[in-house]
Amino acid sequence: MEWKYFTAEGMRDHLPADTYARRQTEIRLRELFWTWGYAEVETPEIEFADVYLHERFVKQEALYKFSDPQGRLLALRYDNTVPLARLAATSGRNLSLPLRLSYIGTMFRANEPGGARNHQFEQAGVEFMGLSDLAADGEVLALAITTLQEMGLRDFQISLNQTGFYKALVDEFQLDENLAGTLPKIIDGKEFVLLDSILSSANLPSRLTSILETMMETTGSYEVLAAVRPLTENQEALSALADLQGILDYLKAAGLEEYVSIDLGLLKNLSYYTGTIFRGYVPGAGQPLLSGGRYDKLCAAFGRDLPATGFSLDLDLLSLSLKAAGLLPSDARNSEVLVYSPAQRAAALREAARRRENGTQVRLVESSSDPLTHEAEEGVTYVYIAEEKNI
């Protein structure tokens, strides 16, 4: 077959069972977000490319780009956090603060696979804008955990960090820009051998070396904070650790602390996140199921200074996780096939209308041959109409 008959690279079709399961999941997510006070909004699937590029939020090659009739550069929606920051600074400027917003939509990423390694994938999430205190961070993280619980998942773990800890070390030890930018990628990727090599050649103070090694190797709960505090007297670093303890306290009060693990080596996108940062994983998945954190500078890029925090949930990966756990929603509604002869068409149409009014799915099959020879379909009730008096 010719290439034009297939989907483009990274794109996919969704067949009926998959589409039904996804829509049912979306309904549950919308209801959950609403009960927490998050109002759903929608942003365009097409944005001006500068929405993503002017502050280098996204690499240009990661966008699906094209031009409008006026020659202006447009892009398909890469994520929804940046567009919601734009919304908060423009069309949503008169909404009451703090803003609690939710969304569900399709994202597109070129040369940078998203959900289930696809370039097109569904994403849901929330953004809490207008508050900078730990209660906002705690609420967003608690909602992220509750979301996975409500979907039926129990075997998952959230890794949590505060980016201010590493940034304080960079300032305290006056690391050069190149090294300061390289270390987070190595530590976040758990590249132990490469870290040892760099630490050996960089001639760093032993105290910093000890802290960096601890950041990569140690995960846990309150005990991680207790182990790291004695290693630094830097007030900014200690403040970041205090923030992490405050969030743990919040989650403990909510009975959710068992799902969270402090990981000071979680250092992805430091130019984007300004405080808490977290990622959620399920066993067997090579990508995070959800991710989020605090991004207090994002809205300011669009002309409104609003602190903000939030998370996004990859619905494609969620579907795979639910399927693996036997939790994927299936369509158990009544479905019938009404098989009739041409002579009974009027009666069959009336009967189909009556059954549909009662909430039953009805498909009509007109057969001039013996209706009993119609191929059976699993999970479907067949109604055969031979003569009008039987209706």
Q: Which pLDDT belongs to residue 391?
A: 44
| pLDDT band at 353; cut points 50, 70, 90 | very high
Residue 276 — very low, low, confident or very high, per pLDDT cuts 50/70/90? Answer: very high
Q: Which tens digits make up the pLDDT trace of 28-46?
A: 999 999 999 999 999 999 9
263 against 389, higher pLDDT: 263
- What is the percentage of the chain residues whose pLDDT exceeds 70? 93
**Tell me: the pLDDT tens digits for 246-273?**
999 999 999 999 999 999 999 988 788 9
Half-sphere exposure of 205 (CA within 13 A, CB side): 11
pLDDT at 386: 67
**Average pLDDT, rounded, for the chain:** 91
Burial class (CB in 10 A: 0-12, 13-18, 19+), 330: exposed
- Predicted pLDDT at 220: 95
pLDDT level of residue 379 (50, 70, 90 thresholds): confident
Residue 237 pLDDT > 80:
yes
Q: What is the CATH number of domain 3-324?
A: 3.30.930.10
Give mean pLDDT, residues 206-225: 92
Same-fold call for 3-324 versus 335-390: no
CA–CA dist 100, 104 (Å, integer):
14
If phi > 0 it is left, if psi is from -120 to 50 it is alpha, else beta; for residue 320 that is alpha
Q: Quick one: average pLDDT of 306-331?
A: 94
Average pLDDT over residues 212-235: 93
Q: HEC profile for 289-358? A: CEEEEECCCCHHHHCCCCCEEEEEEEHHHHHHHHHHCCCCCCCCCCEEEEEECHHHHHHHHHHHHHHHHC
What is the domain partition of the chain in residue ranges?
3-324, 335-390
Q: Above 50 in pLDDT, residue 207?
A: yes
pTM, two decimals, is: 0.90
Is residue 5 over pLDDT 80? no
Q: Which class in CATH covers the domain with range 335-390?
A: alpha beta
pLDDT-derived band at 102 (thresholds 50, 70, 90) equals very high
Give the model's pLDDT for residue 390.
46
* Residue 167's pLDDT band (cuts 50, 70, 90): very high
Maximum average pLDDT range among 107-111, 246-250, 384-388 = 246-250
Question: In whole angstroms, what is the distance from residue 89 CA to residue 45 CA?
Answer: 18
Percent of the chain with pLDDT over 90: 71
Whole-number Å distance between alpha carbons of 295 and 99: 14
Most confident range (mean pLDDT) of 174-188, 230-244, 327-341 is 230-244
Q: Give the phi and the psi of residue 145 in degrees, each rounded to 5.
A: -65, -45
| 127-136, 204-213, 379-388: segment of lowest average pLDDT | 379-388
* pLDDT for residue 11: 87
At residue 243, does pLDDT exceed 50? yes
Residue 54 has pLDDT above 90, yes or no: no
Confidence check: pLDDT of 217 > 80: yes
Residue 147: C-alpha distances to residues 39, 93, 219, 224, 353 (Å): 16, 28, 23, 26, 39
Cα angle, residue 249 at apex, residues 248 and 254 outer, rounded to 5°: 95
